[in-house]
Structure formats: structure tokens, C-alpha cells
Amino acid sequence: MDWKKRVRYEYMQLRQAKRYQRSDKVKQAFENNRELLNQRIRDIEIANGQYKVHCPDSEPVFSNRPFLRSCTVKSSIHSFRDQAVPLCTLQAVPNLPVYYSWVPVQQNFMVDDETVLHNIPYMGDEALDKDGAFLEELIMNYDGKVHGDR
């Protein structure tokens, strides 16, 4: 009797140690991934630091157009000269609606080109048990023509 308690206790201790090991592995993997990401971010910032972009509020070249500003791009390669590029703010354009037209109607209308019932609606087994004549009436409205029937 005492051995069963002892075995159960040791088994639970081993399971708990296994859980702690797994938790430690997950934490270590997270820390390693985070350090790798931080190192890559630092490398990208160093690479982007080579290109110096200076964007003044306004320059006299574009002073005759108040809605334009210029942006000066300085290259880290000395053979390229600095470039001044005008910045122009575009006006917002509203999105087109998803539909082309819409008309409210009070009831559905059957038109001439819908002479074949394309699908039989499923309204649940309860509806069939209560009123089985509905489907028969629906098929009769289409003169017995159901898509897929020969």
C-alpha cells in the first residue's frame, strides 16, 4: 500500500519536471527568436542609415506653388548628386459604391426568362413534415421544369 503512494508520488514528480523542462524550452526559444529579430532590426536600421533623407517644410524653388513641397535625397555614394523632388498631396477620392442601381420592390416578380426552377430551397425537415404540399406547389408553378431533371 505504501509503495503505491510512493510510486504515484514519484510519477507525478517526473511529470512535473517534464512540464517545467518544456516550459523552459519554450521560454528559451522565445528569447532566442526575440534576440534574432532585434539583431535584424538593428542591421536594417544601420543599412537605412546610409541614406540620408532631408525633407524641409518649403524651399524657394517651389514657393510659387504653395501646395507643393520638396524633398532632398542625399546619397551615401559621392558620385551621385543630391536630388530635390517635389511632393504633391493628392486629394482623396471617394470609393465607388459596390452596386450600380437599387430599387425597392414590395413583392417578387417572376419574369419570362425564369421558366425553370434552378434549385429547390431547403427549409429544414420540420417544414417538410408539416407541409409537404409546398414543394409540390412550387414545382407546379414552374410547370414541373426543374434544372437538372430530364
Helix (H, G, I), strand (E, B) or coil at 85: strand
CA–CA distance from 70 to each of 55, 66, 88, 90 (Å)? 7, 11, 9, 15
Mean pLDDT of the chain: 78
Segment 28-43 mean pLDDT: 92
Between 105 and 9, the more confident residue is 9
Segment 11-31 mean pLDDT: 92
For residues 62 and 86, the answer to whether their CB atoms sit within 8 Å is yes
**Each residue of 42-94: pLDDT tens digit?**
888 888 777 765 555 544 554 555 555 777 877 777 777 788 777 777 788 88
Q: Provide the pLDDT for residue 58.
A: 45
- Render 34-63 in DSSP notation, one character per residue: HHHHHHHHHHHHHHHTTSEEE--S--GGGT
For residues 84 and 60, the answer to whether their CB atoms sit within 8 Å is no
Residues 6+ apart with CB under 8 A from 142: 115, 116, 117
Q: What pTM was estimated for this model as a whole?
A: 0.30
Q: Provide the pLDDT for residue 98.
A: 74
Spatial separation of the C-alpha atoms in residues 81 and 106, rounded to whole Å = 70
Which of 51, 50, 49, 68 minimizes the C-alpha distance to 60? 68
Domain segments of the chain as ranges: 1-53, 114-149
Q: What is the DSSP letter of 2?
A: H
In the structure grid, which three cell numbers stand for residue 83, read together? 536630388
Q: Provide the pLDDT for residue 26.
A: 92
Q: Provide the pLDDT for residue 54.
A: 58
In angstroms and rounded to an integer, the radius of gyration of the C-alpha atoms of the chain is 37
